[in-house]
Chains A and B, each alone.
Chain A
Amino acid sequence: MNALTAAPNIAASITRPFIAFEQASVTFGRGEKAVQALQPTDLTISEGDFVALVGPSGCGKSTILKMVSELLKPSSGYVFIGGREIGANPIRIGMAYQNPTLLPWLNIRDNVMLPLKIVPPFRGEFSAKRKGEFRDRVEALLAQVGLSGFGDKYPWQLSGGMMQRANLCRALIHDPELLLLDEPFGALDQFTREELWAIMQDLWLSKKLTVLLVTHDLREAAYLANRICVMSARPGRILDDSPVDMPRPRTIEMTFQPDFVALNQRLRAMIVGARGGTGIVNHPPGQG
C-alpha cells in the first residue's frame, strides 16, 4: 500500500516505464484537410500506476488511449508498452467505455467470460473450464463489484450502474496488466458514480494493475488517480502533470477536504484556460 501511495514523482521513480510516449503525435487526414489531434507528446507511466487524463472535449485524450490499446498508430514518434513498440507487445489489456456494450443475447456471466474465450492462454482451455474454474472466477469478480447472484440475469434486466459494473468485470476477467477506462462512469448519476469509484479503487488496490483513465470529472480523477495529466484543447498536448498525494484508500469525504478542493480548482482553472485557448497556464508539459 505504501509503495503505491508514495509513487508521486514518476520521472524519479526507478520502476521501468510501462508505457512510454516519445514525441508521439497523431494527425488525421492528409494535405490541407489534415487535422492534428495530438501534438508530439512525451508521457511515461510506470507499472502499477493509476493515471488520469483530463481536459476539454476533443483534446486527444481518447487518441492517447487508442494508441495505448494499439487501435491507432502514432503519425510520428514512438509509443512503447512494456519496453516494446506497440504492435509487437504481448501484454494483456482490458478496456471499458462509457457505453457498457454488453451483448444482449448473453447473460451477465457469459458476457463477463467473453475475453476468456478470446485471449490466450485462456482461450485454449475455454471449453474445458467454462463450467468450472472460469465460472468460479467470474462469480468471484462479480462478487467483488457487488453483483453476486446476477450472473444469470440479462443486461436489459440491470440498471445502468450494474451494467457498468459488469462492464468493468469484463475488462478485468482476463487479468489484464493494463486497464484502459474511457469515461466509464460518465453516464451514471452522482451516487452510483461515487459507489463505482470506491469499487474501482478497491479493484486497483487488490489487483495491482496499471490504469489509464480518461475522464471529464475532476473529482473522479483526483479520487482515483495517483497522477493527473491535464491536456490542452486540440491539437492536444499535456499541459500539466500533477501527483495526487492523498493516502489510500481514499474516501468520498476526502474529496471535500481543502487540499482536494484546492487541487480540483487548480486543475479546473487550467482546463478553463485550455478551452479558451488563451494559454493562460504555461506549465512545462509532463517531464518536458
Chain B
Amino acid sequence: MQRILDIARDKAASTALIIGVFVFWEIFCLAANISDILLPRPTQIIAALVKFWPAIWPHTYQTLYTTLVGFAFGVAIGVAIGVLIGSSRLAYDTAYPLLVGFSSIPKVAVVPIFVLWYGAGTVPAILTAMIICIFPIVVNVATGIATVEPELEDVMKTLKASKLDILWNVSLPRAMPYFFASLKVAIALAFVGSVVAETVASNRGIGNMMMIASSSFNVPLVFAGLFVLAGLGVSLYAIFSLIEYRITGWAHRKTDLAAS
C-alpha cells in the first residue's frame, strides 16, 4: 500500500501536468471561439475517437503491425551491426562514416524509392520503420560493447577467453542498459517511420486515415489519429521501460536505493 502511494505521489505531478494541458486546451478553444476545423477541442476529439472507432481500429492495427515488424527487423539488424562495430576497431572506423551518412538522410525521402521497388502498401511502411530505428540501436550497442574496462578485458584474455567468450559473458550483458535505452528511442522512431510511409503511399494505416480525414475536413478525426499514435507510442515505451527495468535493474540500483 505504501508502495502504491509512493508511486502515486511520484506520478502525481506528471499526471497533473497532462490533465492541465488538456484542460487549458479545452478552455482556450472555448474562450477564443476557435473553429473545430482549425483546432478541435479535446472533448470533440474523444467524441470522434469513440464515434469512428470501428473505422479507426483496422488502421490502428495496420500501423501497429507495420511498426512492430519494422522495429523487430531494425533491432535484429541494429544489434548485429552494433556488435560488429563495437567489438572491432577496424569495423568501427570503416563503417561509421557510412552509417552516419545513411542516418542523416531524411527517411521520408526514401519512401518513394521503397514504393518504386515494392509498390504502395505494407512493405514500404515496414522498411521505413526499420531503417529509421537502426541507427540509435547501432550506436548504443556499439558504445556499450566498446566501453568494457580494459582491465576486465585483460583479465579475460589472461584466462585465454575467446572473443566469443568475452562477447557473451562480458560485452553483451554490459551493453544491455545501452541497448534498452536505445529501444525506447527506436520504438518511437519506428512509429514515425511507418506513419510517414503510410501518409505518402498506402491505403491503410493511421497515417493514411489522417490524410483522408484531412482532405474531407474531418479535423477531429485527424486529431483522433494523433491521439491513437500518441497512445500507442506511450504504451510501447512503457512496456520497454518495464522490460528494461526487469532485465537491467543492476544498472539502475542507485535510483532504487535513493527511493527506498
Closest CB of chain A to B157's CB: distance in Å? 6
With A and B bound together, what is the CA distance between A99 and B157 in angstroms? 16
B253 touches A69 (CB 8 A): no
Q: Is A34 an interface residue (CB 8 A)?
A: no
Given contacts A105-B250, A117-B169, A118-B165, contact A70 B158 (CB under 8 A): yes
B152 touches A119 (CB 8 A): no
Closest to A100 in B: B151
With A and B bound together, what is the CA distance between A93 and B156 in angstroms? 10
Q: Is B159 an interface residue (CB 8 A)?
A: yes
Q: Is A97 an interface residue (CB 8 A)?
A: yes
With A and B bound together, what is the CA distance between A66 and B250 in angstroms? 31
With A and B bound together, what is the CA distance between A180 and B157 in angstroms? 13
Closest CB of chain A to B159's CB: distance in Å? 5
Q: List which B212-260 residues lie within 8 A (CB) of chain A.
A: 248, 250-251, 253
Q: Is A103 an interface residue (CB 8 A)?
A: yes
Q: Is A26 an interface residue (CB 8 A)?
A: no
B156 touches A118 (CB 8 A): yes
Closest CB of chain B to A150's CB: distance in Å? 17
A114 touches B151 (CB 8 A): no
With A and B bound together, what is the CA distance between A42 and B170 in angstroms? 36
Contact of A118 among B149, B169, B174 (CB under 8 A): B169
Proximity string of chain B (145-160) to chain A, C-beta cutoff 8 Å, 1 when within and 0 when not: 0000101101111111
Given contacts A101-B149, A118-B165, A119-B159, contact A156 B253 (CB under 8 A): yes
Q: Is A71 an interface residue (CB 8 A)?
A: yes
Contact of A97 among B151, B156, B161 (CB under 8 A): B151
Given contacts A103-B173, A117-B169, A119-B159, contact A154 B154 (CB under 8 A): no
B155 touches A97 (CB 8 A): yes
Q: Collect the chain B residues with CB atoms within 8 Å of residue A101's CB.
A: 149, 151-152, 155
Q: Is A285 an interface residue (CB 8 A)?
A: no
Q: Is A234 an interface residue (CB 8 A)?
A: no
Number of A-B contacts (CB under 8 A): 58
Closest to A115 in B: B159
Q: List which A4-37 residues lie within 8 A (CB) of chain B.
A: none
A104 touches B250 (CB 8 A): yes
Proximity string of chain A (57-78) to chain B, C-beta cutoff 8 Å, 1 when within and 0 when not: 0000000001001110000000
Q: Is A95 an interface residue (CB 8 A)?
A: yes
A118 touches B151 (CB 8 A): no
Chain B, interface residues (CB within 8 Å), range: 20 to 34
- Looking at A93, A101, A103, the one whose CB has the most chain B CB atoms below 10 A away is A101
Closest to A157 in B: B253
Contact of B158 among A69, A99, A103, A114 (CB under 8 A): A69
B149 touches A99 (CB 8 A): yes
Closest CB of chain B to A112's CB: distance in Å? 12
Q: Collect the chain B residues with CB atoms within 8 Å of residue A70's CB.
A: 157-158
Q: Collect the chain A residues with CB atoms within 8 Å of residue B165's CB.
A: 117-118
B155 touches A118 (CB 8 A): no
Q: Is A174 an interface residue (CB 8 A)?
A: yes
Q: Collect the chain A residues with CB atoms within 8 Å of residue B155's CB.
A: 95-97, 101, 170-171
B251 touches A104 (CB 8 A): yes
A119 touches B154 (CB 8 A): no
Closest CB of chain B to A125's CB: distance in Å? 16
Given contacts A97-B154, A104-B250, A104-B251, contact A119 B173 (CB under 8 A): no
- Looking at B152, B159, B173, B176, the one whose CB has the most chain A CB atoms below 10 A away is B159
Closest to A154 in B: B250
Closest to B165 in A: A118
Q: List which B9-61 residues lie within 8 A (CB) of chain A.
A: none
Q: Collect the chain B residues with CB atoms within 8 Å of residue A171's CB.
A: 155
Given contacts A99-B151, A154-B250, contact A71 B157 (CB under 8 A): yes
Closest to B152 in A: A101
Q: Collect the chain A residues with CB atoms within 8 Å of residue B174's CB.
A: 103, 105
With A and B bound together, what is the CA distance between A101 and B165 in angstroms? 17
Closest to A174 in B: B159
Q: Collect the chain B residues with CB atoms within 8 Å of residue A96's CB.
A: 155
A-B contact pairs, 9 of them (CB 8 A): A99-B149, A101-B152, A103-B152, A104-B250, A105-B248, A105-B250, A117-B165, A118-B160, A156-B253
Interface residues of A (CB under 8 A from B): 66, 69-71, 93-97, 99, 101, 103-105, 114-115, 117-119, 154, 156, 170-171, 174, 180
Interface residues of B (CB under 8 A from A): 149, 151-152, 154-161, 165, 169-170, 173-174, 176, 248, 250-251, 253
Given contact pairs A71-B154, A99-B151, A154-B253, enumerate 5 new A-B contacts (beta carbons under 8 Å).
Answer: A101-B155, A103-B169, A105-B174, A118-B156, A156-B253
